[in-house]
Structure 1
Amino acid sequence: MRQLKSPSFEFHEPDEIVHANVIENFVSVTRPYNGKSGGEARVCAWAPDGSYFAWSCGHRILHLIPWDNQLKKRHDVRDKQGLHKRKYHVIDCSDLIWSLAFGSGRNQKDHMSGFGGRFDPSLVIATGLANGKIRLWNCSEGTLIVELLDHRDIVRCLDFSLDGNLQLLSGSRDGTLKLWDIPEDGNMYSTFKPHGISFTSCCFAPNARFIAAVGTCRMAYLWKSPRLNSQFIKLDGHHNEVSSCSFSFDSALLATGSYDTKVIVWSVHSVTKLRILGHMHPSPSLIYAGGANDHYVRSVSFCANSLILTTVCDDGYVRFWNLKRQQDDPYLVGEATDALFGRVSPDGSILAVGFRDGDVVMFSANQTIPRLMQLSRQAILKHLSKYNLQGQNQNGI
């Protein structure tokens, strides 16, 4: 193999890989305070139907931005008809925002009496704050609905189930993972507290049947049930803090990204490693993988067709991986120095990346057409509670 100038890619130089187009750039209104900690765009989120984009630009400020799915850009405020009563909101959340999650409970209109009519369950957004509080906001009015109090430290991660039941999963630096039943007055009904771990990322599977959570001490957990009091599975394979996790849209795959410079793609059903995606070549030895190595993987996020995985790395690149390709280099990259977080839009066409200076840049993701085998698997997974792995190919992808 030829000697490379860049350690970030195994087979190609960065300028030999196709670069993703930038389609939007949101500039933080808090930029005058960039010299102070707290001005980072640590997290962003998309509404499940793509109607809103939420962006934490730092210093307690949350932007709720109506999104135009057809034009792939923020909605023109002059187009009143296209907005359909959606409004721009700038919300002061009273403390630094560390996590965001949209929830939609269109089946819950008859179960919200405990909120005194303040709750429009069609679309809400939850904010996880540095003081341990979780605040839920009405997206249509930009008003506070309820405050959830139980965590004792930074709420690092949030996720709603996508089945319309408005179950909220939260993970905190206090070492607890919690489930909240929002229709039942925001009741916290389950807690998981392992010894000596702080959670950094958590998520429901799109089919709402599985839960994943990752954190410090190289640990990743998988529940094959939407309840934390059920038996969990430890996923061993990383050698540093595990920073992010994401299920594929068909719920068959789980990706975990780590500060050890690697992403592992797991089969949810067989709990086996299917792919390991390196961000540093040659791979660092264990002593460097477990420490500072300048190639921390900050974020992983699947695209809609489950073949494409995106990653954000400290080496200054976002990557788009095609999991069907055997070659370990990504097929698409974007330059992103000081990027902290990435999240793919519901249709899989856009990757929104948050930066240390509070800005957000949106990259266009050129997706591949899914194969018939993959579409068949997705159809099966929608209608069966268990999946026979004998039907998968050797790679399981």
Structure 2
Amino acid sequence: MSQTMEDIPVLLAELRPGREQPYDWKSSCETWSVAFSPDGKWFAWSQGHGIVKLLPWPLDKEHLKPQALKAKNHCFKITDVKEQGSPKEKILDCGQIVWALAFGCSSSPVGWKLWPSSRLKASENNRTYQLLATGLNNGHVKVWDVHTGRILFNLSGHQDVVRDLSFSSNNNLILVTASRDKTLRIWDLKKDGKLIQVLSGHIQWVYCCAISPDCSMLCSAAGENSVKLWSMHSYTLIRKLEGHQNSVVSCDFSPDSALLVTASYDTTVIMWDPYTGEKLREFLHVCLQPDLEYSTTEPQLSALRFLRIWSLELQDPVSVAPVTNGLCCAFFPHGGILATGNRDGHVQFWTSPKVLSSLRHLCRKTIRCFLTTYQVLALPIPRKMKDFLTYRTHL
């Protein structure tokens, strides 16, 4: 599929760490993870050497490239004056290489017992409490209050690198951590970081984890080429998905929890039905897949200098752009922007092409937010409709 000028991602901004020059030539300078807060008001960036930078979003005009001012679908605020009382950027010194980042939200304060004189600071607008979890090289997980930059918890238990993190989306502050020690741990931050469960079963490093948006399932993937699905109610194994020929290094659910996407070093991305374990679609790459994130489109970040963005309703990528030494990516929660991090500790912000979804797809997505695959298959409707609602066909 040929790209029009509007389809080609525009580089809106590039941020580089302000560290001293000698550090740029040492190891551990990589940006292994980037993340947007669920409300779209913060951006977190692991800029190497154990440092995480928290930036209020949108970025200031001073960070933008000239072409950003001309882009039609960016989400940056074009202003020369900072609003009074607006949040300030923060530097979090984690003391270890940061491999993973994840934001969590709560409607009530947590961790206040550790700081009797000062509870967590809530957002002025929606009275939510924002937390940032950082997965570290020494197996610890440090959890920070986003608005104050204060550390709330230092969770220990893993015996090796914490490679990925995932918060439940229901504001219950359940945190899942995936580690190279071949286990996953489930923590309850509303109970002062209590360890709820340790999940074992992988025989190699666990690279990634993801909690489904409906909080019913947990996906984990590891070096043994397989993907495991766990119940978030009983913390037991539901099924094992097999289809990749090499380590599975990234996974994510669709917003309606009806689809699971996994990326592997075998150069493929597979879309699954998590309820049945059926393989629905396979996306081919010509190089390795360090990271993947799901949105209304399925982006993949390749290690061979290309960013590819896919749409569910099209066979070919809707957009391709060159990315040097890419390691990770994250969608802005409200769409239109994609952030990528690389081996040099830099982060870039790109326009994400707007794909106009059909009314049929929007209706399907709404229905699937409430019905599982099994419930759809039990409906007294034609088989063709069932296949469409379960993403077997596009009608």
TM-score, with structure 2 as normaliser? 0.85
Q: Would the aligned equivalents of 1:40 and 1:58 in 2 still touch at CA under 8 Å?
A: yes
User: How far apart are the structure 1 equivalents of 2:131 and 2:48?
Assistant: 20
Pick closer, same or farther for the CA change 1:85–1:18 going to 2, 3 Å: closer
Q: 2:376 pairs with 388, 391, 395, which one? A: 388
Pick closer, same or farther for the CA change 1:220–1:76 going to 2, 3 Å: farther
Give the match for residue 34 of structure 1: 24
Tell me how far 1:113 sits from its aligned partner. 5.5
User: How far apart are the structure 2 equivalents of 1:170 and 1:75?
Assistant: 37
SS at match of 1:379: helix
Give the match for residue 334 of structure 2: 347
Alignment of 1:170-319 (within 5 A): 170-223=177-230, 225-227=231-233, 229-280=235-286, 295-303=287-295, 305=296, 308-319=297-308
Tell me how far 1:68 sits from its aligned partner. 2.2
Q: Would the aligned equivalents of 2:273 and 2:279 in 1 still touch at CA under 8 Å?
A: yes
User: How far apart are the structure 2 equivalents of 1:151 and 1:264?
Assistant: 29
Tell me how far 1:21 sits from its aligned partner. 0.7
Tell me how far 1:125 sits from its aligned partner. 0.3
SS at match of 2:321: strand
What is the identity, as a one-letter code, of the residue corresponding to 1:355? N
What is the identity, as a one-letter code, of the residue corresponding to 2:95? S
Q: 1:54 pairs with 24, 44, 66, which one? A: 44
RMSD: 2.5
Pick closer, same or farther for the CA change 1:367–1:269 going to 2, 3 Å: farther
What is the identity, as a one-letter code, of the residue corresponding to 2:158? H
Mark the runs of 5 or more structure 1 residues left unpaired by the alignment.
1-10, 281-294
Give the match for residue 72 of structure 1: 75
Pick closer, same or farther for the CA change 1:211–1:195 going to 2, 3 Å: closer
User: How far apart are the structure 2 equivalents of 1:273 and 1:369?
Assistant: 25
User: How far apart are the structure 2 equivalents of 1:249 and 1:127?
Assistant: 23
What is the identity, as a one-letter code, of the residue corresponding to 1:395? R
SS at match of 2:182: coil
Q: Deviations over 1:55-106 (max 9, x none)?
A: 011011111000029962379794124xx54221011111110000000011
SS at match of 1:197: coil
Alignment of 1:327-338 (within 5 A): 329-338=316-325
Q: Deviations over 1:367-388 (max 9, x none)?
A: 2122222222332233446641
Give the match for residue 310 of structure 2: 321
Give the match for residue 102 of structure 1: 103
What is the identity, as a one-letter code, of the residue corresponding to 1:124? L
Q: 1:161 pairs with 138, 159, 168, which one? A: 168
Pick closer, same or farther for the CA change 1:17–1:58 going to 2, 3 Å: same
Corresponding residue pairs, total: 362
Q: Would the aligned equivalents of 1:190 and 1:228 in 2 still touch at CA under 8 Å?
A: no
Pick closer, same or farther for the CA change 1:212–1:76 going to 2, 3 Å: farther
Q: Would the aligned equivalents of 2:8 and 2:321 in 1 still touch at CA under 8 Å?
A: yes
Q: Would the aligned equivalents of 2:38 and 2:103 in 1 still touch at CA under 8 Å?
A: yes
What is the identity, as a one-letter code, of the residue corresponding to 1:22? L
Q: Percent identity?
A: 31
Pick closer, same or farther for the CA change 1:75–1:248 going to 2, 3 Å: farther
Q: Would the aligned equivalents of 2:309 and 2:318 in 1 still touch at CA under 8 Å?
A: yes
Q: Would the aligned equivalents of 1:126 and 1:136 in 2 still touch at CA under 8 Å?
A: yes
Q: Deviations over 1:15-59 (max 9, x none)?
A: 999531111211122372232210001101110000000001101
User: How far apart are the structure 2 equivalents of 1:76 and 1:90?
Assistant: 24
Give the match for residue 63 of structure 2: none
Alignment of 1:59-138 (within 5 A): 59-68=49-58, 72-73=75-76, 78-81=81-84, 85-106=86-107, 108-109=108-109, 114-115=113-114, 116=116, 118-120=119-121, 122-138=129-145
TM-score, with structure 1 as normaliser? 0.85
Q: Deviations over 1:168-199 (max 9, x none)?
A: 01000111101100000100111111152211
Q: 2:12 pairs with 23, 28, 38, which one? A: 23
Give the match for residue 374 of structure 1: 361
Q: Would the aligned equivalents of 1:114 and 1:184 in 2 still touch at CA under 8 Å?
A: no
Pick closer, same or farther for the CA change 1:76–1:52 going to 2, 3 Å: farther
User: How far apart are the structure 1 equivalents of 2:293 and 2:175?
Assistant: 19
Q: Would the aligned equivalents of 1:31 and 1:357 in 2 still touch at CA under 8 Å?
A: no
Q: Deviations over 1:302-324 (max 9, x none)?
A: 12x3xx11001122101011121
